[in-house]
Structure 1
Amino acid sequence: MQALDDSALNHVATYFRALSEPTRLRILNALRDGGKNVSQITALTGCGQANVSKHLALLFEAGLVTRSAQGTAVFYAIADSATFELCDIVCGNVARIVERQFSNTSAVKRQLGKVAR
């Protein structure tokens, strides 16, 4: 990342912004096992069709998904499987952070309990 200019950093920031919304993460998870059309994604995510379409457009613009016309339907697929590797790394890191915060909170509560006695 050190060698990136401002333009490249803006692209990286756009990529991460696209991953920063829970609905978009649900959509990506729905595409984990292969391409789907909007109706299929809507059914899998429980989100409305207009909402799914809006998020798919943003994911497409960020380069996270591809789209292809098949008859009258448009199918979306993951552009690069490394996206899931990145998400798995981030999820593991978030789990460690939450665990550490819980551990620290528990330690503080134990200390406060000792003081209150």
Structure 2
Amino acid sequence: MSDEIDEVFDKAAELFAVLSTPIRLRIISQLCQGEKNVGQLLESIGVAQPNMSQHLNIMYRSGVLGKRRQGAQMFYRIADETAVVVCRAVCTQVAIEADVN
């Protein structure tokens, strides 16, 4: 039983680590609206291309994002809905708390 609980906490910690930067939270927010290519993400989030690629790669390797190539362009989508649920829950709660104070 303890091993199963440890595994749950390990997986949760891994997900929190992947979601631990504002840029990655913005990426998830953008991709909740549907699949986007790197150029579209760069336009809406406003970071340097190498920085964006690094974040997308980390999120892809962790299983949070999926990707597909179409010609020269790479398109990203949400692959793990758990990340979306966690992101929405935490960001909503933070917004509520900020509004109260």
CA apart distance, 1:65: 0.6
| Partner of residue 88, structure 1 | 88
Superposition TM-score, scaled by structure 2 size: 0.81
Q: What is the identity, as a one-letter code, of the residue corresponding to 2:87?
A: C
Which runs of structure 2 are paired with 1:62-73 in the superposition (5 Å)?
Answer: 62-73=62-73
Deviations 1:66-92 (A, max 9, x none): 011112211100113443332221123
User: Which ranges in structure 1 are unaligned for 5 or more consecutive residues?
Assistant: 103-117
| Partner of residue 60, structure 1 | 60
Once the two structures are overlaid, the 10-residue window that deviates more, 51-60 or 7-16, is 7-16
Paired residue total: 99
Q: 1:57, 1:51 → 2: CA distance?
A: 10
Which runs of structure 2 are paired with 1:7-26 in the superposition (5 Å)?
Answer: 7-26=7-26
Q: Which has the higher contact order (CA 8 A, sep 6+)?
A: 2
Which runs of structure 2 are paired with 1:42-57 in the superposition (5 Å)?
Answer: 42-57=42-57
Over the aligned positions, Cα root-mean-square deviation in angstroms equals 2.1
Identity of aligned residues (%): 35
User: Which ranges in structure 2 are unaligned for 5 or more consecutive residues?
Assistant: none
Task: Spell out structure 1 runs of 4+ moving beyond 6 A.
Answer: none
| Partner of residue 38, structure 1 | 38
Instruction: Decide whether the 8 Å contact of 2:37 with 2:74 is kept in 1.
Output: yes
Instruction: Decide whether the 8 Å contact of 2:15 with 2:83 is kept in 1.
Output: no
Q: 3-state SS of the aligned residue for 1:4? A: helix
